[in-house]
Amino acid sequence: MATVRLDQKSRAMVRAVPDSYTEALAKYFGTGPTDITKAKAQHAAYVEALTNNGVEVTILPADHNHPDCIFVEDQAVVIDGHVLLPVPGHESRRGEQPPIAEFLSNSLKGHQVCSMASPAMMDGGDLLRLGDLFFVGRSTRTNDEGIAELKDLLDHLGHELRIVDIPSHTLHLTSFSSTPCDKIILAPEGYLSPQSFGQLPEGCEVLMMPEQEVYGCNTIGLPGKKVLIADGYPNVRATLEERGFETIVLDMSEIRAADGSLTCCSLFY
Ligand code: GLY
């Protein structure tokens, strides 16, 4: 997941699929979800996969007024117990945040919660964490003011932040990259190069995947060398399995239809 290290992935929050999900924003990977029953079944399988692999999952109720509400990753950033509530980059999604903020405040009592102020904006989906090194996507959802506020928090925590410019035909940094463990970044040819991430700490590497497997580059690594991956990306799967990961494959078709990926649907805290 985007902003917690592997050893911090014991609890996650998700949000149920609303009946309005067919109205979710879709511009990049998808043209919009069409099958609510299937979307709910895929989401339930996702929750089950997290639970079966040691994650304590809390499911917040759906918000039928916000079709994109399942994409909780965008709404809050949790880093080493600190919570940053960004101004989400798409106006229609800003009303999703209050129940998530309340949940995190109640669950992380005693931790510092700060809120970003407009004109800063950022989606949590633009953050990637590799150990204690952070990357942020400068995108249509995340602007320089938002990046500056994130940098303030990371400076305070002693973590480095690097900026990656997001190609205009993609949504978020995590739409096409992920860290299945604290030493590996998965990224697709044609979107990024290993140089996009700069010089990495010793022992870390960028694994480049074929361009047609861009969606498959979003994965969720879990403790015990397990990794959730989307169905249909054989090179991603083979590459991870060759490196000793146990892959857990999920059908994400109705999530992808709304430009959502594995990491978008949960918030580790
Ligand atoms: N449908 C996810 C988003 O555009 O934020």
Query: What pLDDT sits at residue 162?
Result: 98
Question: Cα of 228 to ligand 1 centre, how many Å?
Answer: 21
Instruction: Please identify which residue in the block is written with the tokens 């970044």.
Output: 185
Query: How confident is residue 203, by pLDDT bands cut at 50, 70 and 90?
Result: very high
At 66-103, the pLDDT tens digits run: 999 999 999 999 999 899 999 999 999 999 999 999 99
Q: What is the CATH number of domain 6-268?
A: 3.75.10.10
For residue 249, report the distance from its CA to the centre of ligand 1, in Å.
Answer: 22
For residue 258, the CA-to-ligand 1 centroid distance in Å is 6
Residue nearest to atom 3 of ligand 1 (CA): 25
Domain locations along the chain: 6-268
Q: Is the pLDDT of residue 64 over 80?
A: yes
What value does the mean pLDDT of the chain take? 97
Atom of ligand 1 nearest to the CA of 258: 1
Between the CA of 224 and the centroid of ligand 1 the distance, in Å, is 31
In the chain, what percentage of residues exceed pLDDT 90? 97
Please report the pLDDT score of residue 81 as a whole number: 84
Query: d(Cα 214, Cα 186) in Å, to the nearest integer?
Result: 9
Q: If you measure from the C-alpha of residue 73 to the centroid of ligand 1, how many angstroms do you get, rounded to a whole number?
A: 11
pLDDT score for 183: 97
Nearest atom in ligand 1 to 141's CA: 5
- Cα 114 to Cα 83, 117, 256: the distances in Å are 6, 10, 31
Q: Is 69 in the pocket of ligand 1 (CB under 6 A)?
A: no
